[in-house]
Amino acid sequence: MQRVIIVLTTLALLVAPSAAATGTGASVTVLELNICHGGMAGCYRGDAVMVKAAEVIRMSKPHVLSVNETCSGDVDRFRPAMGPARALFVAARNLDGSPVMCSGSDGQYGNIIMVSARFGGTAEESGVYAAQYTAADGIGELRAWACLPAATLSACTTHLSSDNAPTALAQCRELMSRAAGFPGPTVVAGDFNLRDGGMRDCDRSGFSRRGTRSVLHVYASDDLSFVTTAEIDMMGTTDHPGWLVTLG
């Protein structure tokens, strides 16, 4: 019980100033989640994670939501908690190029990026990486990325190779090179499958980064600054904490 109280208190402290600042455009809140909702991995806990994720989204009120190991059908399930937002889903690919499917009836398996509608923009970009580790990478998927570029705020999500650190690093560098070309403030969030030491080789000028004690990270371009960060206990519904970042 003490653990829950600490987490909720931390969130309350973060959400209140962020909500106040939103009206002036002074802050951007980013929420990164890996929800293990595909149904193929041992961390799968069914729809319990959807309930918990929606609760965390409603409480933290993110302007940018990045979700990894999710299903295409989850986009509409997150909309009520997220509010008006642009959304882009990208599927991971099987080795033959076909989309990886979630177990059950939730559609394709991959990543979601959602950005509050107040930031405008209409462009969408997504794809798979040039570098892929295909020997024994999880369920054998080709890893993918998705971005919503806009002059007011650009945002990307990704889930990198889990079984080969050099491949994950090459994928990270490819995405950060792409993100560096976007207009205006830019945020890149995801499960990079690299801890802090490995991520340092992906860090580049023009961006700063903050990460969890494990593999979830958020990059922000230098026209944004990190104000607060907090890990969120997902209460056993997935094998990753949430990662909540407020940027000024």
Q: Which pLDDT belongs to residue 94?
A: 93
Domains identified in the chain, total number: 1
Tens of each residue's pLDDT in the chain, 248 residues: 334 333 433 443 333 333 333 334 579 999 999 999 987 777 888 889 999 999 999 999 999 999 999 999 999 999 999 999 999 999 999 999 999 999 877 799 999 999 999 998 899 999 999 999 987 555 678 999 999 999 999 999 999 999 899 999 999 999 999 999 998 999 999 999 999 999 999 999 999 999 999 999 999 999 999 999 999 999 999 999 999 999 99
Q: Which pLDDT belongs to residue 12?
A: 39
What CATH number corresponds to the domain at position 157?
3.60.10.10
Q: How far apart are CA 19 and CA 29, in angstroms?
A: 9
Q: Which of 60, 94, 81, 26 is nearest to 232 (CA)?
A: 60
Q: Which pLDDT belongs to residue 5?
A: 34
Q: Which pLDDT belongs to residue 199?
A: 97
Q: Which domain holds residue 90?
A: 2-247
Q: How far apart are CA 135 and CA 190, in angstroms?
A: 23
